[in-house]
Amino acid sequence: MAGYVSEAVIKRLPAYYRHLKELETEGVKQISSKGLGERMQLTASQIRQDINCFGGFGRQGYGYSVAGLREHIGRILGVDHTHAMIIIGGGNIGRAVALSDSFPANGFQTVAIFDNDQEKIGTGVGQLTIQDVSELKQYILENTVDIAVLAVPVSIAQELADELVTCGVAGFWNFAPIDLKLPEGISIVNVHLDEGLEILSFRMMQGLV
Amino acid sequence: MAGYVSEAVIKRLPAYYRHLKELETEGVKQISSKGLGERMQLTASQIRQDINCFGGFGRQGYGYSVAGLREHIGRILGVDHTHAMIIIGGGNIGRAVALSDSFPANGFQTVAIFDNDQEKIGTGVGQLTIQDVSELKQYILENTVDIAVLAVPVSIAQELADELVTCGVAGFWNFAPIDLKLPEGISIVNVHLDEGLEILSFRMMQGLV
């Protein structure tokens, strides 16, 4: 990658990736910055600047190779290889993540799901069976785990995250509405659904789009 | 509200609201910008600037009234009143939203859920029964609907959103991985779960936190 990439560009990477996958599906081989811009509601110059920023791909005047650019961005995002995910919490959110088709289709494979509720332990979620959270450490010792999905109550989220970090988990997808404190080198993305709804409510109040 | 509020400040509003609710629960009555900053991992000066920005609340030197500031921010966010939500899509995500306790606790009340799958129609999701999507228009005519939750496949999301806009729905919480085109004055918040995972993968690759 070519040097510093701003947070704004990083946030657009998955959208580039999604649009390029769609274009591939549609059978489009080449696309100009203008064409991609129209599709993504960005200007052609913004597209050129972004793509320049993450590696100077493509040749001006010829447009971009859809497959080539999709692969290039896939490599940057690290979605050219599979990630093994474990889910902690067999409630509604945990189940929804475990049952999704689209995460495995993008290389994010749920390999195990844990809960501390005796009523849930041993029950099935798709192909998986909910395991006792007391077996979590042992599981991580014996299996490759890239990402832990936290779908647990706020009250236990920090303690659980600390334990998982100790076990060597370096990536967290956190659905608990809490700002987890994690050591340097550990990556986290929060999905604070409540906050999204509040932002929606705010925009509706302001009449903003 | 005091004039222009930047997108960055808007995005922090729900976090302020969440921390102030927690402080209230903990029985804290007053908090300084320093105290709130430490809690939110922001500087005291950032806190003062933010709060100044959304209304000049509080008196320097006395700290902020936790309940007062929580109420003030709640009014700005529009979460001081209830929002009626309908969910389109009775799959994993739609069900998880319908079954959540935290959305109704924050005033976002799911009042109906729809699907086009004959196997799902008539089945229960918590207190609700999945209705036939062919009854959607009639439902909106006869009931108050503030927010439509789109938990449907990409292929039908735009058409459905257009129909809902025609019926007068002005707020969308969209889980379909598509950039919907909506007319001016319609508010939308996207929850693109796949994109969150891709950003997480990227951060893990970069060793960024």
The tens digit of pLDDT for each residue in A144-171 reads: 999 999 999 999 999 999 999 999 999 9
CA distances from B50 to A203, A206, B29, B208 (A): 18, 18, 20, 26
User: What is the three-class DSSP state of A106?
Assistant: coil
B201 vs A contacts (CB less than 8 Å):
77-79, 83, 108, 171
User: What is the three-class DSSP state of A24?
Assistant: helix
Write out the H or E segment, with its range, that includes residue B148.
strand B147-150
Mean pLDDT across chain A = 92
- Which overall architecture, per CATH, does domain A83-196 show? 3-Layer(aba) Sandwich (3.40)
The pLDDT assigned to B73 comes to 93
The Cα B181–Cα A18 span in angstroms is 16
Chain centroid to CA B165: how far? 19
The pLDDT assigned to A205 comes to 87
Chain B residue at shortest CA distance from A187: B209
Structure tokens at B154: 């990409």
Structure tokens at A25: 């599906």
- Which residue among B79, B184, B191 sits closest to A201, beta carbon to beta carbon? B79
Smallest CA-to-CA distance from A174 within A199, A198, A154 is with A154
| Phi, psi values for residue B202, rounded to 5° | -60, -50
Contacts of A92 (CB under 8 A, 6+ apart): B95, B96, B99, B100
Mean pLDDT of the A8-36 span: 93
The pLDDT assigned to B86 comes to 98
B175 vs A contacts (CB less than 8 Å):
none
Phi-psi region of A129 (alpha: psi -120 to 50; beta: other; left: phi over 0): beta
Q: Could you give the residue range(s) of every CATH 3.40.50.720 domain in chain B?
A: 83-196
| Phi, psi values for residue A185, rounded to 5° | 90, -10
Residue pair B128/B110 in contact (Cβ under 8 Å)? The answer is yes
Measured between CB atoms, does A101 come within 8 Å of chain B?
Answer: no
A201 vs B contacts (CB less than 8 Å):
77-79, 83, 108, 171
Measured between CB atoms, does B8 come within 8 Å of chain A?
Answer: no
Measured between CB atoms, does A43 come within 8 Å of chain B?
Answer: no
Mean pLDDT of the A40-61 span: 81
The pLDDT assigned to A3 comes to 53
Residue pair A114/A90 in contact (Cβ under 8 Å)? The answer is yes
Measured between CB atoms, does B99 come within 8 Å of chain A?
Answer: yes
Contacts of A90 (CB under 8 A, 6+ apart): A98, A113, A114, A115, A117, A120, A123, A125, A130, A151
The pLDDT assigned to B14 comes to 94
The pLDDT assigned to B1 comes to 45
Measured between CB atoms, does B173 come within 8 Å of chain A?
Answer: yes
Q: Could you give the residue range(s) of every CATH 1.10.10.10 domain in chain A?
A: 7-77
Decide if B15 and A195 are in contact by the 8 Å CB cutoff. yes
Mean pLDDT of the A22-32 span: 94
Does this complex have an ipTM over 0.95? Answer: no
Chain B residue at shortest CA distance from A90: B96
* CATH number belonging to domain B7-77: 1.10.10.10
Measured between CB atoms, does A7 come within 8 Å of chain B?
Answer: no
The pLDDT assigned to A196 comes to 94
Q: In which residue ranges of chain B is pLDDT below 70?
A: 1-4, 56-61, 207-209
| Phi, psi values for residue A107, rounded to 5° | 95, 5
